[in-house]
Amino acid sequence: MKEYSHKDKRDHILHILTNKYQTDPERFRSYLPELMPEIEDRSPSACKKGHVSTLTEIERERLRELLLRLPRDKSVTEEQAIQALGYCATLIQDENLPNEIVRKTILTFLHRVIGTPMSRINKITKKTVGNGKEAKRIAVLRGVYLHLTWDDLLVAVSISPTKFKERSEALRFVGIGQDSLADVSRQHDQYFSESIQCHPLKE
């Protein structure tokens, strides 16, 4: 009788779970929400070979201008915050998010859309904000995903609090008292890679 290694068994189980997820994502989510981040990362729909920007220079500058016109403080409305996150998603894919859009700004938009401070979210959360079929997702911050249609319309925002909090916990571990990320655009490659590439489980 053939012996299977621990890795083979794990891969077999993940293959079954991934197939179940692809058959009925919503039911899978309702039963096993804690597995969603890993399963979604392994799903073929989340795997891309690369990204080529489709924005023209005029479109790029227009999006940047529209984004920077929106309020970036507590005065931003939910509708404006949804607009802003949609613009951010497109510009992150284009690797041209304005330097003015810092981590604190993204958190302000997310707070307005989700309705709860990120620090108070303790379970995987997903909020639908628009109509359309999800075709891809973009990581705007670690553990925070923007779900988009094929033509970049924002339809949902989801948060994995464990991943989101990992960064702050790491900073505290090395003795940095405050999250010092001042420019979200410096992390474009990291966030984009996290959202569109398949990652094997860590041993």
Q: What is the predicted pLDDT for the residue at 79? A: 96
Q: CA of 173: how far to CAs of 160, 164, 190, 191, in Å?
A: 20, 15, 21, 22
Going by the DSSP 8-state scheme, the letter that residue 61 receives in this structure is: H
pTM over 0.85: no
CA–CA gap between residue 155 and residue 139 (Å, rounded): 14
- How confident is the model over 35-91, as pLDDT tens digits? 766 666 655 444 443 445 578 899 999 999 999 999 999 999 999 999 999 999 999
